[in-house]
Amino acid sequence: MLRTVKLNAGYKELHILFDVDAEMEKNKITAVVGPNGSGKSTLLKSIFGLATIHSGKVFFNGGEITKYPPHARTKMGIAYLPQTDNVFANLTVEENLRIAAYTVDKDEVKDRINTALDIFPELERFMKRKAGTLSGGERQMLAMATALVRKANVLMLDEPTAQLAPKFAELIFDRVVKLRDDLKLTILLVEQNVQRALEISDDAYLLVSGRVAFSGKANDLLEHEKFEKLCMGILD
Amino acid sequence: MSVIEGAIVYSNLLVLLSVGLTLTYITTAVPNFAQGSFAVFGSYISLTLLRLYNLHPYYSLPFTFVLGGLLGLTVYLLMLRPLIKREASVVILMISTLALDLILLGIIGSYSDSLAQFTHKSASRFIFTPYDFNLAGLSAILLVSSLVIFLSLFGLFLLLYKTRFGVALRASMENPDLAEVMGVNVEYTRLFSWFLSGALAAMAGTLLPFRQEIVPSTGAIIIVSIFAASIVGGLANINGALLGGYIIGFSESFLTYNLSAILGTGILLYSKVISLVVLVIVLILAPRGITGVNWRRVLWKKSSSQ
Ligand SMILES: Nc1ncnc2c1ncn2[C@@H]1O[C@H](COP(=O)(O)OP(=O)(O)OP(=O)(O)O)[C@@H](O)[C@H]1O
Ligand SMILES: [Mg+2]
């Protein structure tokens, strides 16, 4: 469904990712885990066209999209939830949801926003407030809601549970599984909560210093004898 | 025209110019030093239509709007976009607009010579005041410039707050990457800003000769006030241009008038110094301009210290 081939990427001259080969299979959850600064977010940004690609290719549904502008990728059905700066602070919650539905057909916008609000009913109280005045957790819920408003078949989530209370984090994990099972979405999930992420995922990649240190079944990584060490970035 | 009328007219035009300057600065990070010459371009279009077709300058506003917009668009597409694509720094972009200003000056200068030869009337300096008239006891330019500014700002407001494209435009101004993530083609918002900036500037150029004499190099002088207005208001905020335009416009008009009463009319030559002094004072007090100040915090501090 979504695949990177020998991807070398970073920010301008800065080289962060080295020869990353990764593949997200249709209707599966693929977890990307790794220590802080290992390049997880950079991988998502380069798949979406927001980082500098030095060499390598990105494929979506068999076609190459390496050089496409980001907005074109959204239109093709890839939704991406960035880790930081993922809502417009100066726009109201309602406007944030409306702009998230930018690529959705006019008559469907209301429906999709309502569906997202069903999942995060808390947001309804804040519709007219500027997103910049929301608390960290509320903002994260809004960000997640904007990802759901977009019509996508691939969802790339960069730490969707960051800043959320455990109860809400659990709700998001549940919801992610539902998105795979009920809506048949393909999901790429970056998470700090490695244990929970791997439990719900089918496949997994471990990134260490910009290189793939493990790739395979999520369960195999979870039960790997050196699991703890691997996750801290200790390879031997 | 009374001093206050003159000040309002001048401020209205300054706002038209600095709104465009701020808009293109926010969306493309280009500090456009040719904004003044965009205005003079508009003045010459109106002059041409007046001399060749005897069209009253007020009626040439729609033409200058469109042609000015096309000028802005052309400048962006031919010069700035290729530079931005190559990741040019803000300094390079600034210098390129300075170069553009010189090019425009050259073109406008030689055009004014050709126009003069063709019509046998001087075009290297001109003024429209003889074409103005009185309406209900007020000079028409006061009403026209106020109407133009009102319609432009009201239109811009409706666009920004009531349309889908407007929400996308505000989103792109705040965070272009995230706007792209949402599926907005941010390039459209850049094209739009350059068109609008050129169009508003050229309209200001049509009206400016009703207040002061125009020469091909007028742009290089007025640019000082335009930048002062945008920076005083705050370059990060469109509303800042509105506020800054009136502050600079009024201080320039009134202070020069009052000073000339004391020091003689020689001071008129240095009226731009006033813009710069206001600019310096505001920047010392509020480095990000007036709209960059967190007023709620300032007021809270004040009330809590009492
Ligand atoms: N915009 C940027 N410009 C320059 N360097 C950057 C930029 N964003 C990230 N980096 C650097 O790239 C490296 C990888 O960052 P990245 O955000 O991909 O890590 P991560 O695995 O997502 O970490 P975390 O778990 O903390 O989110 C880091 O060293 C970081 O400092
Ligand atoms: Mg990250």
Q: Which domain holds residue B181?
A: 3-219
Average pLDDT score, chain A: 91
**Closest Cβ opposite residue B171 in set A69, A80, A99:** A99
CA of A141 relative to ligand 2 center, distance in Å: 18
How many angstroms separate the CA atoms of B114 and B206, rounded?
Answer: 20
Q: Residue B289 domain-assigned?
A: no
Contacts of A139 (CB under 8 A, 6+ apart): A86, A87, A131, A163
Task: At B291, give phi and psi (nearest 5°).
Answer: -75, -10
How many angstroms separate the alpha carbon of residue A42 from the centre of ligand 1? 6
Report the residue of B89, B182, B189 to disrupt the A interface, i.e. the one with the largest count of A CBs within 10 Å.
Answer: B182
A235 CB near ligand 1 (under 6 Å): no
> Are A73 and A158 members of one domain?
yes
Do A47 and A164 lie in one domain? The reply is yes
Q: Which of B167-171, B172-176, B270-274 shows the lowest per-residue confidence on average (mean pLDDT)?
A: B270-274
CATH code of the domain in which A47 resides: 3.40.50.300
A94: chain B residues, CB-CB within 8 Å? none
Question: Which of A169, A130, A154, A183 has the alpha carbon at shortest distance from A22?
Answer: A154
B291, B239 Cβ separation under 8 angstroms: yes
Q: How confident is the model at residue B26 (pLDDT cuts 50, 70, 90)?
A: very high
Looking at the fold, whether A222 and A157 belong to one and the same domain comes out as: yes
Same-domain status, A138 and A223: no
A62 and A167 co-located in one domain: yes
pLDDT at A236: 61
Query: What global pTM score does this model have?
Result: 0.89
Contacts of B219 (CB under 8 A, 6+ apart): B34, B35, B36, B37, B38, B39, B40, B101, B104, B105
Q: What is the pLDDT of residue A233?
A: 66
Round to whole Å and give the CA distance between B11 and B145.
Answer: 9
A132: containing domain = 85-148
Residue A225 has what DSSP assignment?
Answer: T
Q: Which numbered atom of ligand 1 lies nearest the CA of A34?
A: 21
The domain boundary residue, chosen from A148, A177, A194: A148
Cα–Cα dist A90/A134, whole Å:
11
In a domain, B278, yes or no: no
Mean pLDDT across B261-276: 81
Q: How far is the CA of A39 from the centre of ligand 1 (A)?
A: 6
Residue B118 has pLDDT above 90, yes or no: yes
Of the candidates A81, A58, A77, the residue with the CA atom closest to the CA atom of residue A68: A58
Do residue A52 and residue A114 come from a single domain? Answer: no
ipTM value for the complex: 0.91
Within this chain, do residues A123 and A170 fall inside the same structural domain, yes or no?
A: no
Q: What spacing in Å lies between the alpha carbon of A165 and ligand 1's midpoint? A: 25
8 Å CB contact between A22 and A210: no
Instruction: Give the domain-ending residue among A148, A170, A186.
Output: A148
The verdict on residue B266 lying in a domain is: no
CA distances from B41 to A31, A205, B112, B114, B222 (A): 58, 59, 11, 15, 13
Does A22 share its domain with A71? yes
Nearest CA to ligand 1 atom 7: A11
A46 close to ligand 1 (CB < 6 Angstrom):
no
The tokens for A150 are 């977009």
Element holding A58 (H helix, E strand): strand A52-60
Name chain A contacts of B164, Cβ cutoff 8 Å. Answer: 98, 102
Whether A236 is in a domain gets the answer no
Q: Could you give the 3-state DSSP secondary structure of residue A221?
A: helix
Confidence of residue B271 (pLDDT cuts 50, 70, 90): confident
Say whether pLDDT at B108 is over 80: yes
Quick check: A102 and B168 CB within 8 A? yes
- pLDDT over threshold 80, residue B266: no
pLDDT, tens digit, for every residue of B207-251? Answer: 999 999 999 999 999 999 999 999 999 998 889 999 999 999 999
Fill in the DSSP letter of residue B79: I
Q: Is A1 or B111 the better-scoring residue by pLDDT? A: B111
pLDDT < 50: residue spans in chain A: none
In chain B, the percentage of residues whose pLDDT exceeds 90 is 77
Q: Collect all residues from B whose CB is shorter than 8 A from any CB in A.
A: 87, 164, 167-168, 170-171, 174-175, 177-187
- Measure the CA–CA gap between B231 and B274, rounded to whole angstroms: 14
Q: Which residues make Cβ contacts (< 8 Å) with residue B7, sequence separation at least 6?
A: B249, B250, B253, B254
- What are the φ and ψ backbone dihedral angles of A185, each rounded to 5 degrees? -85, 155
Ligand with the closest atom to the CA of A20:
1
* C-alpha to C-alpha distance for B149 and B15, rounded to whole angstroms: 8
Ligand 1 pocket residue status of A82, Cβ below 6 Å:
no
Report how far Cα B164 is from the mean position of its chain's Cα atoms. Answer: 26
Q: What is the mean pLDDT of chain B?
A: 93
The total of structural domains in chain B comes to 1
Q: Are residues A165 and A226 in the same domain?
A: yes
What whole-number distance in Å separates Cα of residue B67 and Cα of residue B42? 8
How far is Cα B128 from Cα B124, in angstroms, rounded to an integer? 13
Is A160 contained in some domain? yes
On whether residue B272 sits in a domain, the answer given is no
More confident residue, A72 or B296: A72
- Please state, in angstroms and rounded to a whole number, the distance separating the CA atoms of residues A118 and A134: 19
- Is the residue at B79 inside a domain? yes
**Last residue within a domain, chosen from A133, A148, A163:** A148
Asked if residue B300 is part of any domain, the answer here is no
Q: Which residue has the higher pLDDT, B255 or A236?
A: B255
Which one of B167, B177, B180 has the shortest CB-CB distance to A95?
A: B167
C-alpha–C-alpha distance, residues A190 and A196, integer Å: 11
Q: For residue A97, what are the CA distances in angstroms to A60, B158, B175, B238?
A: 26, 19, 15, 23
Average pLDDT over residues B151-176: 94
Q: Radius of gyration over alpha carbons of chain A, in Å?
A: 17
Same domain? For A12 and A73 the reply is yes
Chain A residues inside the 8 Å CB shell of B180: 50, 69-71, 74
Of the candidates B87, B178, B183, the beta carbon closest to that of A82 is on B178
Q: For residue B230, is it within any domain?
A: no
Q: Please tell me which of the candidates A70, A80, A91 has its beta carbon nearest to residue B171.
A: A91
Any domain includes A161? yes
**Residue A121 shares a structural domain with residue A166:** no
Do the Cβ atoms of A47 and A30 come closer than 8 Å? no
Is any ligand 1 atom within 6 A of the Cβ of residue A39? Answer: yes
Q: Do B183 and A75 touch (CB under 8 A)?
A: yes
| Total of domains in chain A | 2
Residues of chain A that touch chain B, judged by Cβ-Cβ distance less than 8 Å:
12, 48, 50, 69-71, 74-75, 80, 82, 85-91, 95, 98-100, 102-103, 146, 150
- Rounded Cα gap, residues B96 and B1, in angstroms: 38
Confidence tier at B120 by pLDDT (50, 70, 90): very high
* A102 is a domain residue: yes
Contacts of B168 in chain A (CB under 8 A): 99, 102
- The b-or-e profile of A33-70 (16+ CB within 10 A means b, else e) is bbbeebbbbbbbbbbbbbbbbbebebebeeeebbebeb
Same domain, A208 and A93: no
| Adjacent-strand bridge partners of A3 | A23, A59
Q: What is the CA radius of gyration of chain B?
A: 20
Tokens of A16: 């962060």
Residue B302 lies in a domain: no
